Amino acid sequence: MNQSTNSYENNSLDYLTVDSLPKIWSIAAQEFGDTIALCAPHAKPEVTVTYRDLAKQIQQFAAGLQALGVKPQSKVSLFADNSPRWFIADQGIMTAGAVNVVRSSAAEPQELLYILEHSDSTSLVVENSDTFHKLSSHLNNLPIELVVILYDGEIAEGDLPVRIVNYQQLMTIGTKQQLQLVPQNKETLATLIYTSGTTGKPKGAMLSHGNLLHQIINLEAVIQPKVGDRALSILPSWHAYERSGEYFLLSHGCTLYYTNLRSIKKDLQQYKPHYMVGVPRLWESIYEGVQRQFREQPNWRQKLINFFFGVSEQYVVAKRIAHNLSLEHFHVSKSYRFLAQIKASLLFPLHALADKIVYRKVRDAVGGNIKTIISGGGSLAKHLDDFYEIVNIPLLVGYGLTETSPVTNARSPNHNIRGTAGRPIPQTEIKIVDPDSRQTLPLGQRGLVLIRGPQVMQGYYKNPEATAKAIDTEGWFDSGDLGWITPTNDLVLTGRVKDTIVLSNGENIEPQPIEDACVRSPYIDQIMLVGQDQRSLGALIVPNLEALQQWTTNQQLNLNLPSPHASPEEVEASDLHSKEIYQLIRQELNREVKNRPGYRADDRIGPFRLIGQPFSIENGMMTQTLKIKRPVIYERYQYLIDSMFRD
């Protein structure tokens, strides 16, 4: 039976008897009192909230909602972004007995209106007046009775048949109202999270209090934070990954600092966090920042740094093999492991010297205090995994989906097998089946990943057909991911069922591992493989313009390259598409693809095109968690794709 279950011990005894999420915060207030829970350093003025005040303000918000007519299990849409008020609103809605429906205020109005209508929301909490005004003209057609504005002053109600209050007004009402305790248990619906996804209309994943509590209680199997530990929050708070991470860290008395992409470099230095939760793109940007600094060094120093990294890479690989932590070396002999241990011992002095001269400075650049950074929400490229191990910044990878609240698997500090998504967290089962027959596959064979456990959602809101497709009669959730299980019970993900590219020769190609290999090149910033029904793979590539500029200078080439912020017209008028640049990118693709473990001839990338506009959230080509939207990109660049295969 190819079935993977957890092997962790659970030590989070304080919360085992809690049956609804809001009860966590009254316990936390008693335990952590005047410890700072939330800090918004970029708010004007800066906002800090202690655990005692947090519990009090959550209850005031809840009492205010009840006084204004919010009923148990009614839906309250919360369209706002990271801030202490977001957290207070989120938990205030649940404390009032209602179900919150969350999304970013920056989402397109059509998407917000769809969620508002589909969720049957009767109340609406929004970030500010701008968010309200982009929805207000449509509220007459919806059963909205109450609007709460978290930021800004008062807004005239006008002709709308709704009650509109701002945050301060609601809190004032809450102080005069006795909070009515609403009976809730683990089966009670807590929130609807609409999957942003990469295709189609979003579906509302129904997460219960029990789903969310499972994460709070069991993520301790991955990390064990201490009271007062600092964490930087940069992902959207409404997203399942960041949300469960915040609940977990706050349930242990950590202090959460809200940061953003503009401020993260300074905040890493100023607040010296112990923990960060992020997506691969974030760790890649930190890595690229370090590489940029290396490229600016004199040639002799660059050669020394590259020498050190080469030695350290050999050292960490040998150490992994010796301790049975290498994905590629599970079945080697004891003598092979013994030789690897000797090699690691011989290389250690040079690695230690490199740590003193080079790697310590890298750790200092991220604050110097990191206990663990946690990566999820997408595949982590091998070179990033290697880099963070070499510089001794502990990095763990987790796996899960919105529909699983989200974490199902995670690597742990004492069992950190690079290239895997780790073992299942407590009470979680993983099964690998044939995608067509649904028959269970033998250990080590690749197939569709199914998940079962207390964190699996109740279903998709008002969508029984989609629910039945996603969760079978035995409770197994279809992840849509492909993977296999190692002899040490770790899950290895190899791609998405729907992302698979089938070439004209019938070969099935999973694009993600090849894309991860390609972005190891300093000259390739982003890449998306294409080639369905073609003779070979093709690629759309967003080059790293800064690295290319440095290369042209070193090569003494007189090429006019665009700046990173150039307009499409400036990109087209530049020398980005010159023969020299294309030859360089061709060399990089060939080398990185061939150096990838498990390389096959069909993995080779044939034609490619360079594009000057990065894939981003703003242009609609990435999700809020920085995953590329393949269908959107394909449609946007259909003409380029057609031309590359035609030529």
Q: Are residues 605 and 475 both part of a single domain?
A: no
Q: Is residue 309 part of a domain?
A: yes
The residues, any chain, with a CB within 8 Å of residue 133's CB and separated by 6 or more, are none
- For the chain, give the percent of residues with pLDDT over 70: 96
Q: Which range (318-322, 500-504, 517-521, 618-622) has the least confidence?
A: 500-504
Q: Are residues 531 and 626 both part of a single domain?
A: yes
Q: Are residues 360 and 418 both part of a single domain?
A: yes
Among candidate residues 246, 248, 237, the one with its CA nearest the CA of residue 213: 248
Q: Is residue 538 part of a domain?
A: yes
pLDDT number for residue 195: 86
pLDDT number for residue 464: 97
With tokens 């190692």, the residue in question is 486
Q: Are residues 143 and 180 both part of a single domain?
A: yes
pLDDT in tens, 252-304: 999 999 999 899 999 999 999 999 999 988 999 999 999 999 999 999 999 99
Q: Is residue 542 part of a domain?
A: yes
Torsion of CA 468, 474, 479, 480, to 10 degrees: -60
Q: Are 278 and 232 in contact (CB under 8 A)?
A: no
Tell me the one-letter amino acid at 202: P
Q: Are 541 and 566 in contact (CB under 8 A)?
A: no
pLDDT number for residue 13: 46
Q: Are residues 43 and 179 both part of a single domain?
A: yes
The secondary structure element, H or E, covering residue 395 is: strand 395-400
The residues, any chain, with a CB within 8 Å of residue 591's CB and separated by 6 or more, are 521
Helices vs. strands in the chain: H and E counts, helices first: 21, 27
Task: Provide the 3-class DSSP secondary structure of residue 194.
Answer: strand
Q: Are residues 438 and 568 both part of a single domain?
A: no
Pairing of strands 47-50, 36-40: antiparallel
Q: Across 105-229, where does the E strand assignment appear? A: 121-126, 146-149, 163-166, 189-194, 204-208
**CA 59/CA 181 separation, integer angstroms:** 10
Number of domains in the chain: 3
User: Greater confidence, 153 or 240?
Assistant: 240
**CA 237/CA 251 separation, integer angstroms:** 16
Predicted TM-score (pTM) of this structure: 0.85
Q: Are residues 148 and 234 both part of a single domain?
A: yes
Residue 10 pLDDT exceeds 60: no
Q: Which domain holds residue 604?
A: 500-646
For residue 454 the two structure tokens come to 């207390």
pLDDT number for residue 1: 42
**HEC letters along 80-125:** CCCCHHHHHHHHHHHHCCCEEEEECCCCCHHHHHHHHHHCCEEEEE
Mean pLDDT of 46-56: 98
Find the CATH number of the domain harbouring 382. Answer: 2.30.38.10
Mean pLDDT of 183-196: 94
Mean pLDDT of 379-408: 96
Mean pLDDT of 462-469: 96
Q: Is residue 290 part of a domain?
A: yes
Mean of the per-residue pLDDT values for the chain? Answer: 93
pLDDT in tens, 564-579: 778 878 888 899 999 9
Q: Are residues 523 and 642 both part of a single domain?
A: yes
With tokens 């003025």, the residue in question is 45
The secondary structure element, H or E, covering residue 215 is: helix 209-218
**CA 179/CA 406 separation, integer angstroms:** 31
**CA 527/CA 511 separation, integer angstroms:** 10
Q: Are residues 288 and 387 both part of a single domain?
A: yes
The residues, any chain, with a CB within 8 Å of residue 108's CB and separated by 6 or more, are none
Q: Are residues 491 and 504 both part of a single domain?
A: no
pLDDT in tens, 200-257: 678 999 999 999 999 999 999 999 999 999 999 999 999 999 999 999 999 999 999 9
For residue 290 the two structure tokens come to 């370090």
pLDDT number for residue 11: 44
CA-to-CA separations, 629 to 9, 593, 623, in angstroms, rounded: 38, 23, 7
Q: Is residue 84 part of a domain?
A: yes
Q: Are residues 453 and 329 both part of a single domain?
A: yes
State which of 209, 241, 273 marks the end of a domain. 273
Task: Provide the 3-class DSSP secondary structure of residue 430.
Answer: strand
Residue 589 pLDDT exceeds 70: yes
CA angle 288, 291, 294 (to 5 degrees): 155
Find the CATH number of the domain harbouring 266. Answer: 3.40.50.12780
pLDDT number for residue 8: 41
pLDDT number for residue 161: 77
Residue 563 pLDDT exceeds 90: no
Q: Is residue 320 part of a domain?
A: yes
**CA 312/CA 309 separation, integer angstroms:** 5
pLDDT number for residue 154: 67
Residue 198 pLDDT exceeds 50: no
14-33 burial, b at 16+ Cβ within 10 Å, e below that, comes to ebeebebbbbbbbebbeebe
The residues, any chain, with a CB within 8 Å of residue 449's CB and separated by 6 or more, are 430, 431, 432, 479, 481, 482, 483, 491, 493
Residue 156 pLDDT exceeds 70: no
- For the chain, give the percent of residues with pLDDT over 90: 83
pLDDT number for residue 4: 56
Write the Ramachandran bin of 598: left for phi over 0, alpha for psi from -120 to 50, otherwise beta.
left
Q: Is residue 585 part of a domain?
A: yes
pLDDT in tens, 353-371: 999 999 999 999 999 999 9
**CA 364/CA 9 separation, integer angstroms:** 33
Among candidate residues 417, 415, 375, 382, the one with its CA nearest the CA of residue 399: 375
607-620 burial, b at 16+ Cβ within 10 Å, e below that, comes to bbbbbbebbebeee
Residue 490 pLDDT exceeds 70: yes
Q: Is residue 220 part of a domain?
A: no
pLDDT number for residue 159: 63
**CA 96/CA 350 separation, integer angstroms:** 59
Q: Are residues 484 and 514 both part of a single domain?
A: no
